[in-house]
Structures are given as structure tokens and as C-alpha cells.
């Protein structure tokens, strides 16, 4: 494809909802990106967001037909991610999607196949692992601070979104649940730190068949539960490391760290993978206490969109991009393996591995991701 502007990649956004402002702010941090226009199923949402942020609003077809747009960021709801992504690819543009890549493996695979046939890229959130917190953790592991990683734990334990989300029903419908909603952050962070997963053994449960909404907008509404609300399992990595992971909407409080990695030479406490910053702590074997490590990389603040900027640099130079669709497909396969393993009562092998994304080098200039 030829580019409309040789020094920048021009970007459009489809989906102008809640997460849109964070993306606009994030995309504008990077010199390689030129955010031009937005579109939404609801044209009024697109117009309002366009005015708020000083960009152009378009119809969806108008945005897709615009030859000056090189890459489209897909911020629609999960059920529409794959379909909208295919439309973007058919229009000859690269696509970067919010997570999850798709709600099932078949549509995720179709999206990746179409991209390959078309010579276009698919990128996918989360990009939080490109932030200062998880990049610092990766450097500590790569530099041998905890020796060879052998095991770990990952916990995302909450009471569920029905107390605060204005429209919580969809969290309990097919294609959703705590694992599909929050799991991408945890699985992607673990693959970034430890490499690909080779198998999953898990059990799931749904202790309540209905949830009671207590948010002010829907106070007292009963929400039918169609998915497990508690997932607990073991991930075996190709490296041999084993991580116990529990993701749940059935826990009121707990005292676990989000992620800990244990190695032959020490232990590492990893920050919440749904954030870009810290804290990061390490305790080498033989040390009496944990020590907090200063973050050594950039982007400790909310930088959603850094994955888009990395993909834009990669498109220009021909290198792989870090938030690759293949990584998102791998995360989806791992998440789906939890439920399959529970139903089958056995270990599930992961068929499609993904490369461990490259770490960022130290000392990048602000707003530029390639040296």
C-alpha cells in the first residue's frame, strides 16, 4: 500500500464510546500517528466525539472509503470486533482492535487469514504490557534478577461490575464473563514475560444463576448468568514455567498480588497488568526483604494507543509489531481453553503458539518508539 503522508500513518477510529477519549489522548502522544476522523453506528456519537476532539466525523462507509486513511482503530463492542475488522481489511486498511480479538476462535482465525492474504496487519489490545511497569519487569527477568522463571501466580478477583457499571447485563452474557473481559491483560502480560503457553488445565464455576444489579441506573434488576463467573487453572508455558491463575467476579476482597513470578534465583511482584505503571518489587534469593525497583522505561501513565504507534513504526520499517493479532489469537485460545478444560475434565493443549513480543530498548525519545 502507498501512504498518504510519508512521515506519518493516518488513523481513523470506528467506535466512539467510553474508551474513545483515552485513545485520542494516547494516539496524540506519538509523532508517527495522524488521527484524522471517527465513525460510529450511531452518527450522533461520532459527531459529538469529533467536535469534542477536533477531528472529522464520517459515516462508517465514508471512513473506509477514504484513501488518505492507512490504519483504522476498532473500538466497537467485542461482539462486533471481528466483523468490523474484516470490513476494515476489505477496505485495504490495517486494523488495530480493542480486546478481545474476536469472541470465538473461528472468527479470529478468519480475520488473521484475510489480513495475511491482503498483505495487511492486524494489531490488538491490550497494550498495557508496553508501559513502564511491565517493560521494567521484563528487563529484570531478561537480565537474570530472578534466575530462570519456573512458576508464578496471577489473580484478578472482583465482586463483579454490577455495582458500578451503568449497563452490566452484557458482562454475564455469552462471549463475556470475567475471563474474556479481564483475562486478555493477564494472559498477554504473562506471555510477554514468559513466552507462549503450551497447555491449560482448569475448572470454572458459576455460583449464582442471576446477579443483582446495585448500580444506580439499574438498581434491583436481576441479570441472568450465561457464563462461568469464576475461572481457576494452571498454565504450562513452552519454557516449562507453570502459573496458577484465577479470574473471578465472585470475590469481595483478597490480599493477593496481581501477578508474581518465581524463579531459580528470586521472586518478582508484577503490577496490575491493566495499568501502565508500577509498583515493581523484587526479592532475590537470600535477600531478607522485597525491594521496590524504579521504573526504567517510559510510559508509566495511561498510554492506550501505544500499541497502535508501535504498529505504525513496524509497518513503516517492516519489523514485527508487538501487539500482534497472532498474540491476541493465542490469548483468546488460552482463555477459551479454561472452559473447555473444565467441561472435558482434562488438560487442553494450545494449538497456535505466538512469538514472545520483543522488549522495548531503554532510552527511547518521548513520542518515538523506534531508535
Ligand X SMILES: NC(=O)c1ccc[n+]([C@@H]2O[C@H](COP(=O)([O-])OP(=O)(O)OC[C@H]3O[C@@H](n4cnc5c(N)ncnc54)[C@H](O)[C@@H]3O)[C@@H](O)[C@H]2O)c1
Residues that bind ligand X (CB under 6 A): 14-19, 40-42, 45, 60, 75-78, 80, 84, 98-99
In residues, how long is the chain? 371
Helices (H), 147-296: 178-194
Q: Which is nearer to ligand X, 156 or 348 (CB)?
A: 156
Q: How far is the CB of 150 from ligand X (least distance, A)?
A: 32
Residue of minimal Cβ distance to ligand X:
17
Q: Which is nearer to ligand X, 63 or 315 (CB)?
A: 63
Torsion of CA 182, 186, 189, 195, to 10 degrees: -130
Q: Which is nearer to ligand X, 149 or 168 (CB)?
A: 168
Q: How far is the CB of 45 from ligand X (least distance, A)?
A: 5
Which DSSP string do the residues of 150-167 spell out, in sequence order? Answer: EEEEEEEE-S-GGGT-SS
Q: How far is the CB of 180 from ligand X (least distance, A)?
A: 9
Q: How far is the CB of 104 from ligand X (least distance, A)?
A: 15
CA distance 229 to 208: 8
Q: Which is nearer to ligand X, 92 or 175 (CB)?
A: 175
Q: Which is nearer to ligand X, 77 or 212 (CB)?
A: 77
User: Is residue 137 within 8 Å of residue 268, measured between CB atoms?
Assistant: yes
Q: Which is nearer to ligand X, 228 or 305 (CB)?
A: 305
Q: How far is the CB of 40 from ligand X (least distance, A)?
A: 5
Q: How far is the CB of 128 from ligand X (least distance, A)?
A: 9
Q: Which residues pair with 235 in a beta bridge?
A: 200, 243
DSSP annotation of 204 reads: E
Q: Which is nearer to ligand X, 305 or 357 (CB)?
A: 305
Please give the angle made by the CA atoms of 113, 114 and 120, to the nearest 5 degrees.
105
DSSP three-state, residue 193: helix
User: Is residue 185 within 8 Å of residue 273, measured between CB atoms?
Assistant: yes
Q: How far is the CB of 39 from ligand X (least distance, A)?
A: 7
User: What does each C-alpha distance from 53 to 211, 227, 310 come to in angstroms?
Assistant: 37, 37, 22
Beta strands in the chain (DSSP E): 9-14, 33-39, 56-57, 71-74, 94-97, 122-124, 149-157, 197-205, 210-212, 222-224, 230-237, 242-248, 259-263, 266-270, 280-284, 291-293, 348-349
Amino acid at each position: 500500500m502507498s501512504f498518504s503522508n510519508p512521515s506519518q500513518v493516518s488513523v481513523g477510529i470506528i467506535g466512539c464510546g467510553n474508551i474513545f477519549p483515552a485513545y485520542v489522548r494516547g494516539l496524540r502522544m506519538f509523532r508517527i500517528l495522524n488521527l484524522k476522523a471517527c465513525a460510529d453506528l450511531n452518527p450522533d456519537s461520532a459527531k459529538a466525539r469529533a467536535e469534542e476532539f477536533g477531528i472529522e466525523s464520517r459515516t462508517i462507509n465514508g471512513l473506509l472509503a477514504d484513501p488518505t486513511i492507512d490504519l483504522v482503530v476498532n473500538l466497537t463492542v467485542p461482539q462486533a470486533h471481528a466483523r468490523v475488522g474484516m470490513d476494515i481489511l476489505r477496505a485495504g486498511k490495517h486494523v488495530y482492535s480493542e480486546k478481545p480479538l474476536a469472541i470465538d476462535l473461528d472468527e479470529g482465525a478468519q480475520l488473521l487469514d484475510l489480513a495475511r492474504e491482503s498483505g495487511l496487519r492486524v494489531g490488538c489490545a491490550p497494550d498495557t504490557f508496553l508501559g513502564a511497569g511491565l517493560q521494567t519487569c521484563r528487563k529484570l527477568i531478561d537480565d537474570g534478577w530472578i534466575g530462570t522463571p519456573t512458576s508464578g501466580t496471577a489473580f484478578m478477583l472482583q465482586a463483579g461490575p454490577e455495582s458500578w457499571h451503568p449497563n452490566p447485563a452484557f458482562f454475564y452474557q455469552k462471549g463475556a464473563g470475567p475471563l474474556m473481559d479481564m483475562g486478555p491483560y493477564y494472559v498477554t502480560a504473562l506471555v510477554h514475560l514468559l513466552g507462549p503457553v503450551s497447555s491449560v488445565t482448569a475448572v470454572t464455576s458459576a455460583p449464582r444463576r442471576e446477579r443483582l444489579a446495585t448500580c444506580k441506573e439499574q438498581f434491583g434488576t436481576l441479570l441472568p448468568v450465561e457464563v462461568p463467573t469464576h475461572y481457576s487453572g494452571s498454565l504450562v508455558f513452552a519454557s516449562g514455567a507453570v502459573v496458577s491463575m484465577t479470574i473471578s467476579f465472585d470475590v469481595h476482597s483478597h490480599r493477593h498480588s496481581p501477578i508474581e513470578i518465581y524463579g531459580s534465583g528470586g521472586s518478582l511482584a508484577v503490577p496490575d497488568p491493566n495499568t501502565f505503571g508500577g509498583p515493581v518489587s523484587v526479592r532475590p534469593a537470600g535477600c531478607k526483604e522485597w525491594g521496590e525497583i524504579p521504573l526504567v522505561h517510559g510510559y508509566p501513565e495511561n498510554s492506550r494507543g501505544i500499541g497502535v504507534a508501535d504498529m505504525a513504526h513496524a509497518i513503516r520499517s517492516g519489523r514485527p509489531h508487538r501487539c500482534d493479532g497472532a498474540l491476541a489469537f493465542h490469548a483468546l485460545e488460552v482463555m477459551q481453553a479454561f472452559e473447555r478444560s473444565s467441561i472435558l475434565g482434562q488438560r487442553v493443549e494450545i494449538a497456535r503458539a505466538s512469538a514472545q513480543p520483543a522488549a522495548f530498548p531503554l532510552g527511547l525519545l518521548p513520542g518515538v518508539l523506534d531508535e
